[in-house]
Amino acid sequence: MTTAIYSHPDCQRHDMGDWHPESPARLQAIADQLIGSHISDLLEHREAPLVALADLERNHSRNAIAIVRDNVPAPGGTYPIDGDTSLNAWSWLAAQRAAGAAVAATDAVIDGEIDNAFCSVRPPGHHARPVEPMGFCLFNNVAVAAKHALDARGLARVAIVDFDVHHGNGTEEAFRDEPRALMVSFFQHPFYPYTEPEPITANLVNVPVPLATKGDAVRKIVTEQWLPALHAFKPEMIFISAGFDAHREDDIGGMGLVEADYAWMTERVMEVARLYGKGRIVSCLEGGYNLSALGRSVVAHLKALAEI
C-alpha cells in the first residue's frame, strides 16, 4: 500500500489562543508520534496546496467563504466568528491548505498515484455548514473533497464515514438531499452542536450514542448499521472524517474508545473500499484534543491504512 500524508506549516499558524483545545500543538503531536512509532518514513509526505475557489464554492456559499477571507485580522489580532471559533492572520491560508489537502489527496487517489491518504490538517471541517463556519471549523474539508470527486471527477457514488465524538452537522446538511452520497456516523448525544438526531434514511445513517459509550457498542453499530448501508450503497470512494475525541482519555467528550477501536473501524472501511471503490480512501483530521491520545490514535489509523 502507498499511503500519503498531506500537511503544511500554514496549518499550524492558525491559532485561536493558548486556552483553545483546537491548537497548533495537535499537528506537532501527530508528527512526533509518527516519528516515535517509526512509521513516518513509511508514508509518502506531500505538501497541501491551496484550494481552488471553485472547489470551495461547490459546498459553501460565497458569503460563507467571505466570512473567512474578508475578516482576517492584522498580525497579533483576532476576529471572532462564534464563541469558540475565531480567525488570526493565518486562518484564511490555513483553511485553504486544509481544504486543498483534501482535494489534492482525492485527485491523487483517483489518478492511482497513491492508494489512500490522510490529511493532517487544521482547522477541522465537519461542523462547517454550507452557509457559515462554526464549531472550530471554517470550511468542510471532507464535504469539499467529496463534491469534487462527484462533480469534477465524475464518480457516481461516494460515502463519508465520521467517527468524531461530535455530530458532523455541516456534513449532514451538505449531503442530506444528495442521493450520490451516503454518510454514516455515530456521535455522543446530547452534546455539541446540540442538533436533534434525524431519522436514519437511505443516505444518512447517523447514530446517536449516550455518554460513556465504549468500543464494544461502537463496533456493534458499525457491524449492524454502518456496514449493511455501505454494502448496499457500493461507494466508489470513501472519505473519513477522522475525529479522535471519542477516545477515553479525551476530556472534551465522554466516550470510551481506544486506539484498537480506531484501527478496527479503519480496517472495516478499507474492506468496503476494496470491494466497490478500488480501495480509494481519503481521511481528514477532525477532532482529538488529548495530545498523547490523538497521536497514538492517528498512528493506529495510519498503520491500518498503510497495512503496516
Percent of the chain with pLDDT over 90: 100
159-201: pLDDT as tens digits: 999 999 999 999 999 999 999 999 999 999 999 999 999 999 9
Average pLDDT, rounded, for the chain: 98
When pLDDT is averaged across residues 202-218 and rounded to a whole number, the result is 98
CA distance linking residue 255 with residue 247, whole number of Å: 6
Helix (H) or strand (E) holding 158: strand 158-162
Query: What is the percent of the chain with per-residue pLDDT over 70, rounded to a whole number?
Result: 100
> Residue 1 pLDDT > 90, yes or no?
no
Average the pLDDT over 250-263 and give the result.
98
Count of other CB atoms within 10 angstroms of residue 24? 18
* 44-100 confidence digits (pLDDT tens): 999 999 999 999 999 999 999 999 999 999 999 999 999 999 999 999 999 999 999
Q: Cell numbers at residue 55, please?
A: 472547489
Distance of CA 55 to the CA centre of its chain: 17
Instruction: Measure the CA–CA gap between 11 and 121, rounded to whole angstroms.
Output: 6
Burial class of residue 68, CB neighbours in 10 A (0-12, 13-18, 19+): buried
Helix (H) or strand (E) holding 46: strand 44-47
Active site residue 127: yes
Q: Phi-psi category of 8—alpha, beta or left, where left has phi over 0 and alpha has psi -120 to 50?
A: beta
- Catalytic, out of 14, 60, 126, 127: 127
Q: With bands split at pLDDT 50, 70 and 90, how would you rate the model's confidence at 278?
A: very high
Average the pLDDT over 207-226 and give the result.
98
- The SS3 call for residue 203 is coil
Q: Assign residue 39 a region: left if phi > 0, alpha if psi is -120 to 50, beta otherwise?
A: alpha
Query: Taking the model in full, what pTM does it have?
Result: 0.98
Provide the pLDDT confidence category of residue 34 given band limits of 50, 70 and 90: very high
In SS3 terms, 87-148 reads as ECCCHHHHHHHHHHHHHHHHHHHHCCCCCEEEECCCCCCCCCECCECECCECCCHHHHHHHH
